[in-house]
Amino acid sequence: MGSEPGTRVRRVEEGVREALASLLVNEVKDPGAAGIVVTRVEMSKDLKSARVHVRLLEGGEDAARRKAAFDALARASGMLRREVTQGLGLRYAPQLRFLYDEGLDNTSRVEQLLAEIEAERRSR
């Protein structure tokens, strides 16, 4: 193959992320899945499993809301696997493992602290 190793994996990761994002908005009717955003996907090298990082648009800090979202993802996972596999023409249906993406919560907390520091500096 002429392309560097890992390029296909990255292409599939992005395809899976886009497909899941679209399916969650357009196909999953479970109210628990409302407001779920797919932030990134990490595929194994053999493309047989995917770690799907998700966030909630609202209520991500609420444990009950998070649990409802993950329960909805568990109920929809069979359909999501089937649709992603067919839509991307993959040989194997990747095992989808959903994880909550804490990264942006930490980022927004840092931004909040920096804004407080800046406001304090201006008030002097």
Tell me which CATH code domain 7-123 carries. Answer: 3.30.300.20
What whole-number distance in Å separates Cα of residue 38 and Cα of residue 21? 6
Say what the pLDDT of residue 10 is. Answer: 96
E-state strands within 6-100: 36-43, 49-56, 95-100
Query: What's the predicted TM-score (pTM) here?
Result: 0.80
**pLDDT band at 4; cut points 50, 70, 90:** low
What residue segments make up the domains of the chain, in order of their start?
A: 7-123
User: Which tens digits make up the pLDDT trace of 8-63?
Assistant: 999 999 999 999 999 999 999 999 999 999 999 999 999 999 999 999 988 888 99
Are the CB atoms for 78 and 96 separated by under 8 Å?
no
Could you tell me which of 21, 40, 31, 105 has the C-alpha nearest to residue 69? 31
User: Which tens digits make up the pLDDT trace of 55-104?
Assistant: 998 888 899 999 999 999 999 999 999 999 999 999 999 999 999 998 76
Bridge-based pairing state of the strands 49-56 and 36-43: antiparallel
**pLDDT band at 1; cut points 50, 70, 90:** very low
Say what the pLDDT of residue 105 is. Answer: 61
